[in-house]
Amino acid sequence: MYLLLAFLLVPIIEIALFIQVGGLIGLWPTLAIVVGTAFLGTWLVRTQGRMALGELQRSFAELDDPTEPLAHGAMILLSGVLLLTPGFFTDAVGFALLIPGVRVAVFRYLQKRVVVTRFQMGPGPQHRHDFRDQGRGDVIDGEYEEVHRPRDPNAPPSGWVEGPDRH
């Protein structure tokens, strides 16, 4: 229901704002503002997106909960979509989502409304490895190098692989 309401109201708001702003400053300045905000928004989304990606990588490296960096990244992505959409209302919402404090407030609001039923970092309980039993586990650490030698057509089959004539 909210999505339908947004699809109806946002274009109406944008059209009304275009008429108002265009009437005040004229057609060309209005279009220049729309194009300028798209370029500025693209640059801001790119820089903030890099920072969000760095935070996400940090949370993975430190085995922290990546929920907040993922949410910030999603909001920055949404901000980019809104800033590339022509209009003053979508630009205002897009620029607001680029402000870290606004993103934190939106995240806290959503965090209260969303219930996470399960969250797991790393392998599940069936894959637990007791690191005190080093050497007795099922993990073998090693290095390998693939060697490709031309096969002698007269050589008998090796027995390691099944060919089309072996059953």
**Residue 151's pLDDT is what?**
76
pTM, to two decimals? 0.66
Q: In the chain, which stretches have pLDDT less than 50?
A: 166-167
**Residue 17's pLDDT is what?**
94
**Residue 120's pLDDT is what?**
67
**Residue 118's pLDDT is what?**
73
Cα–Cα distance list, 22 to 14, 26, 58, 89 (Å): 12, 5, 46, 14
DSSP string, 113-148: H--------SS-GGG---GGGTTSSS----------
For residues 55 and 38, what is the distance between their CA atoms, to the nearest angstrom? 25
| pLDDT 10s digits, 101-142 | 999 999 999 999 988 777 666 665 555 555 555 555 677 778
Cα–Cα distance list, 70 to 13, 20, 145 (Å): 30, 37, 38
Q: 99: phi > 0 → left, psi -120 to 50 → alpha, else beta; which?
A: beta
- Look at residues 56, 58, 60, 78 and name the one whose alpha carbon lies nearest to residue 68: 56
